[in-house]
Structure 1
């Protein structure tokens, strides 16, 4: 990996997805910091290095508060905010509070909910039922056990071993909870990055991909790598983060608006 050089020092907040933690951004964060940028990689309550706090009461709102607190206590402003996978839910909810501190939002193969939707709503009934069954069988009926990195398209044995040693469980409640208002997320400039070919079950992120591809407020990009792009192609991710930063304020794309 080479250091990410850019003439404008920028603050990045990189938010992980489900059953991950701030650790998954290690390669991307290193590249950004080598280029002189400020980087924050918060870990959501009960996950990653905060797995010792795992309990059944943790819900989506807990994680939204985690992200808001990072902005508040670090006094962050003019931020490029990145959410991966489940992290898109958290980012969308937090934007109701922190939008004035965010320059642009980047959704890296992430959920893009509208008000009142849950991860289960977006994933569909079949996947929701499968996750509930998984929690019933392996998670005392209230948490989802750690995933295997190969499920996310990571193929290098060393990378799989590295990720699997850090994956943690996650409360089922975070997937069941419906998000509150998301108006400020939908009115904010942003970029959606689709990772292809997808290694996830069919349709898990189709709703987000369709919404962002058809909404002129989102700049849509496709990255030829795994769902866990921050692990498998950090250089390309960094390049798109800079592009997203520089696109902020350029206005909407000239395509017809469509609601999905």
Structure 2
């Protein structure tokens, strides 16, 4: 991988999705750091390298507090904030507290909730019921067991083995909890990146696509790689992150859409 270049050093905060951890951004973070950028890849409570903290009380608010704390204790400002998949829920909630420190929000094949919605609301009743059943059968009724990376479209055997050795369980509560206010994320400059093909349900993607394309503050892009784009095409992800950085405050009607 070649180092990523950008006109000036930028601070990036890369937030993982469900059952992942900060580890999944390793390749993207390496490219950004080689280019002289500051990168933070926090891991949410109970997941990844913080799996020892997994318990049934961990919910969406816990994860929102995790992200806000990263900004507070690292004293972060003028950040490009990226949320992948479930991480879009966390980013949307945290923006109520950290929006003034964020330059641009990037939602990578991620949930885009309105106030009062949960992951289960976005997934739909059928998918929600399937996840509850999975937790009841394999997670003591309160957590969802680790996933297989192939479900996310990763096909290289080495990548699958690498990811699967790091996947962890996810508290069911994080998917059931309704988010609070999301006004500030929806009034902020942002980009929604749809990965094609994606492992996310089509109705969920259609909703996120519609929400991003209907709002002039969000710029819609398509990335032709797996849902786990940070693993399967890190260079393309970095390219879009740099584009997102340049779009702060720019109306989407002024910029043509792109597909990688």
Q: Is the TM value for this pair above 0.5?
A: yes
Q: Is the 8 A contact 1:123 1:205 kept in 2?
A: no
1:61 aligns with 2:50: no
Structure 2: distance between partners of 1:139 and 1:66: 23
2:211 matched to which residue of 1?
211
Q: SS in structure 2 opposite 1:105? A: strand
2:258 matched to which residue of 1?
none
Structure 1: distance between partners of 2:20 and 2:111: 15
Alignment gaps of 5+ in structure 2: 256-260
Displacement of 1:31: 0.1
C-alpha deviations, 1:94-126, integer Å up to 9, x for none? 000000000000000000000000000000000
Q: SS in structure 1 opposite 2:220? A: strand
Structure 1: distance between partners of 2:224 and 2:70: 31
Structure 2: distance between partners of 1:254 and 1:35: 28
Displacement of 1:254: 5.6
- Normalised by the length of structure 1, the TM-score is 0.96
Q: SS in structure 2 opposite 1:219? A: strand
Displacement of 1:252: 4.2
Structure 1: distance between partners of 2:202 and 2:214: 20
2:223 matched to which residue of 1?
223
1:134 aligns with 2:130: no
Worse overlay, 212-221 or 77-86? 212-221
The within-5 A match list for 1:1-260 is: 1-253=1-253
Q: SS in structure 1 opposite 2:175? A: helix
- Normalised by the length of structure 2, the TM-score is 0.96
Q: Is the 8 A contact 2:217 2:249 kept in 1?
A: no
Structure 1: distance between partners of 2:203 and 2:26: 28
Structure 2: distance between partners of 1:171 and 1:253: 40
C-alpha deviations, 1:198-238, integer Å up to 9, x for none? 23344243321221122211111000000000000000000
Structure 2: distance between partners of 1:236 and 1:199: 19
Structure 2: distance between partners of 1:204 and 1:250: 26
